[in-house]
Amino acid sequence: MSGMLVLASNDIMSHLAPRYEWHLPGLHPVIHPGEHSGFTVDLAAFNHWVQQLTGINPDVTTHVVMMGFAALLCLFFFLPVARSFVMVPRGLRNFLEPVLLYVRDEMVYPWMGEEDGRKFLPYIWTLFFFILACNLIGLLPAPFGVTATGNFNVTGALAVMSLLVGIIGGMVKKGGGKFWVGLVPHGVPGYLWPLVFFIEVAGLLTRHVALMVRLFANMTGGHAILAVLAMWTTLMPALLPVRLLQILGSTGMICFEILIALIQAYIFAILSAIYIGLALAEEH
């Protein structure tokens, strides 16, 4: 039994880690245990081919593939909405418009104001829906089922983007020198100014590190629990009460993860809006 548990834990870790093989399931059923239906895309071979052709290794993994699908999903939903303008929204626009207005009126404008909020609203919209798409794709069955936001590189890149948007936006609005000097509150004694400046810069970076870790930890933890529940199928006896318990547990956890996917996209987007708003504020 302990050997099976070690094997299961290894399978879970390999399931969560980025892989260079993307398995596409086939249509015919699996007959023998361990047999796989479908075929596998060798991403390592693709990376090697691109590197030989261009001299650059793109390092495409399953997480990169899922981010591509998330981007295509956002384009699929929003390009038709952006091209169509009607006084009375209908169809897909009628579904998405309340969400877009909520992000604008409840997440962006309260923290940036209407004037600055209009400039940064497209970024917050894109951030929210891209993270939500990545989170939800990770809950789909194969050939999806890989959560790109469960990768430190992905969440780190998103956090760095929000950091740079805030810094560059603040420098453009206030001027470079005034932005950095303005990090220190008015009235700080001169002998304490270097220390307070260091603390403020460290706090600015720490906030975005927490932004990165929060999204990564929540998505990785939820996906790990789903993987553990799936492993029960092979570790537990094939009794009807056990199977029913597995189904109920997995279904409840998937519903909970859908809620978490939405909440984490909301938290990342609203905290990014708050941090950018703080960078744009004249005094904070």
Digit-coded pLDDT (tens) for 63-84: 899 999 999 999 988 887 777 6
φ/ψ (deg, to 5) at 38: 105, -155
pLDDT at 20: 82
In the three-class reduction of DSSP (H, G, I as helix; E, B as strand; rest coil), residue 17 is classed as: coil
pLDDT at 198: 93
What DSSP line would sit under 193-234, residue for residue? Answer: HHHHHHHHHHHHHHHHHHHHHHHHHHHHHHHHHHHHHHHHHH
Q: Domain map of the chain by residue range?
A: 72-280
- In residues, how long is the chain? 284
Q: What is the mean pLDDT of the chain?
A: 81
In the three-class reduction of DSSP (H, G, I as helix; E, B as strand; rest coil), residue 150 is classed as: helix
pLDDT at 175: 87
Digit-coded pLDDT (tens) for 133-163: 999 998 887 778 788 898 889 999 999 999 9
In whole angstroms, give the CA distance from residue 63 to residue 145: 10
Q: Which residues of the chain register pLDDT less than 70? A: 1-16, 26-38, 84-91, 223, 226-240, 242-243, 283-284
